[in-house]
């Protein structure tokens, strides 16, 4: 995208406002993925902040072969999966806090679906997915990335992405079956 390319150039030039624009533009997407993956808002904010700081320091490494947003998703995924695998996460009752807030509709006021029982069940079901499936379904169905973009962001073969996405959706369907005729 032209505006993405221009933003990258301004970032490389060290323009202070460019970084602020980057954060404002992508904050919700980065934070959303982090919350879905880490299931804790406080840790998700830490992770999102870490993502933007990495981008700020490594913008020169961005080769421009993918979209800036895809690069951000790639970094976000890596940061979250690293945290999930580090074993140094806070010992909160994983997912409970965020799931409760999502089920009560606090995070998305005004959205009828989020306040429904189905929404609570869906968020819980997403949170219970295995990490490698969860990240794929989050990037595809919640963030709208194409298969190829997901494969690039996660450094996975396209077939693996398709397989994991299918398994994730099947898991969710089985957990939400009682809501469907």
- Asked if 115 interacts with another protein (CB under 8 A), we say no
Retrieve residue 76's tokens: 């976000």
The whole-angstrom separation of Cα 171 and Cα 156 is 21
Choose, by CB under 8 A, the member of 3, 6, 12, 28 that binds another protein. Answer: 28
Which position among 89, 141, 156, 160 is part of the footprint of another protein (CB under 8 A)? 141
- H helices, E strands: number in the chain: 10, 0
Minimum CB separation of residue 74 from another protein in Å reads 18
The vertex-99 CA angle with 84 and 73, nearest 5°, equals 45
52, 72, 75, 83: residue in contact with another protein (rule CB under 8 A): 52
| Binding flag, residue 32, another protein (CB under 8 A) | yes
Cβ neighbours for 10, distance < 8 A, ≥ 6 positions apart: 17, 18, 21
* Nearest Cα residue to 163 out of 140, 181, 180: 140
Please tell me whether residue 73 binds another protein under the rule CB under 8 A. Answer: no
Query: CA 74, CA 77: separation in Å to the nearest integer?
Result: 5
Kindly state whether residue 156 participates in binding another protein, applying the rule CB under 8 A: no
- Cβ of residue 24: shortest distance to another protein, in angstroms? 6
Region of 1-9, 50-58, 70-78, 82-90 interacting with another protein (CB under 8 A): 50-58
Kindly state whether residue 97 participates in binding another protein, applying the rule CB under 8 A: no
**Does 30 engage in binding with another protein (CB under 8 A)?**
yes
User: Which of 80, 32, 33 has its CA nearest to residue 54?
Assistant: 80
Which residues lie closer than 8 Å to 62 by C-beta, 6 or more apart? 8, 55, 68, 71
Positions in the binding site for another protein (CB under 8 A) = 19-20, 23-24, 27-32, 35-36, 41, 45, 48-49, 52-53, 56, 107-108, 111, 113-114, 118-119, 122, 137, 140-142, 147, 162, 165-166, 169-170, 172-173, 176-177, 180
């Amino acid at each position: 995208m032209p505006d993405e390319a221009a933003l990258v150039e301004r970032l490389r030039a060290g323009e202070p406002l460019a970084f602020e624009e980057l954060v404002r533009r992508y904050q919700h997407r980065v934070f959303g993925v982090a919350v879905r993956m880490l299931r804790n808002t406080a840790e998700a904010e830490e992770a999102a902040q870490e993502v933007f700081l990495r981008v700020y320091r490594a913008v020169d490494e961005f080769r421009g072969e993918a979209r800036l947003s895809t690069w951000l998703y790639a970094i976000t995924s890596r940061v979250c999966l690293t945290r999930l695998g580090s074993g140094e996460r806070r010992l909160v009752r994983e997912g409970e806090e965020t799931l409760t807030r999502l089920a009560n509709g606090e995070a998305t006021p005004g959205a009828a679906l989020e306040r429904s029982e189905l929404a609570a069940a869906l968020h819980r079901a997403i949170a219970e997915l295995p990490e490698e499936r969860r990240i794929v379904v989050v990037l595809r169905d919640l963030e709208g990335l194409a298969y190829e973009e997901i494969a690039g962001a996660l450094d996975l073969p396209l077939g693996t992405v398709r397989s994991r996405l299918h398994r994730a959706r099947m898991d969710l369907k089985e957990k939400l079956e009682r809501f469907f005729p």
